[in-house]
Amino acid sequence: MAGKKYEVFVQKGKPWYKHVTGILFSQLGLFVLCVIYAVGGACLYIDIERPYEEKLYEVKMNKTKEVDAAIRYLKKIFWHYANNEERYNFTQEQFSEQVRKDMVCTLYYTCTTCSTLDSILFFADVHSTRYNCRYMYEYSTY
């Protein structure tokens, strides 16, 4: 009789898939499934968005280089003004005229840069903006 009871007990064991589903649908199993689902979704999102983000990063780096070049240009000009006393020892009227000329050149440079960017990005006409800069210089009053 003892042998029969043991055989009945062994035959009544759960199959492996019932153990797995019992673990997966417990609170811990559901938590692990949610974490795996969230991590998988995040990885998929990153893979989908990576090319676009890299393109935006390149555009941002190019704009940063342009800003750095403008800053270097302005530093050079201001250093030139600060250290060349023989050339830039002006009266008030001479100083105003020199500043006016330099500001017009800076405005022309800015308009040219903007119009070049516009022509690249928005297919604008470069020559009309340059004409407008010259027109502003000729008819400006300070």
Residue 8 lies in a domain: no
Residue 103 lies in a domain: yes
Query: What single DSSP character describes residue 90?
Result: -
Residue 69 lies in a domain: no
Cα–Cα distance, 127 to 142 (Å, whole number) = 25
Model confidence at 30: pLDDT above 80 = yes
- Indicate if 49 and 93 belong to the same structural domain: no
- Indicate if 95 and 47 belong to the same structural domain: no
- Indicate if 94 and 49 belong to the same structural domain: no
Residue 113 lies in a domain: yes
Residue 21 lies in a domain: yes
The DSSP result for 4-33, as a single string, is: HHHHHHHHTPPPHHHHHHHHHTSHHHHHHH
Question: Highest mean pLDDT: which of 18-32, 36-50, 88-102?
Answer: 36-50
Residue 38 lies in a domain: yes
Diameter over CA atoms, the chain: 123
Average pLDDT, the chain: 76
Domain, as residue range, for 110: 89-142
What integer is the mean pLDDT of 56-85?
Answer: 86
Model confidence at 86: pLDDT above 80 = no
Single residue among 53, 80, 100 that ends a domain in this structure: 53
CA separation (Å) from 37 to 27, 32, 34, 41? 15, 9, 5, 6
Provide the number of structural domains found in the chain.
2
What pLDDT band is residue 38 in, cutting at 50, 70 and 90? very high
* Six-digit token string for 31: 């938590």
- Indicate if 97 and 142 belong to the same structural domain: yes
Residue 77 lies in a domain: no
What integer is the mean pLDDT of 36-61?
Answer: 96
Query: Could you tell me the pTM of the whole model?
Result: 0.38
- Indicate if 93 and 47 belong to the same structural domain: no
Residue 100 lies in a domain: yes
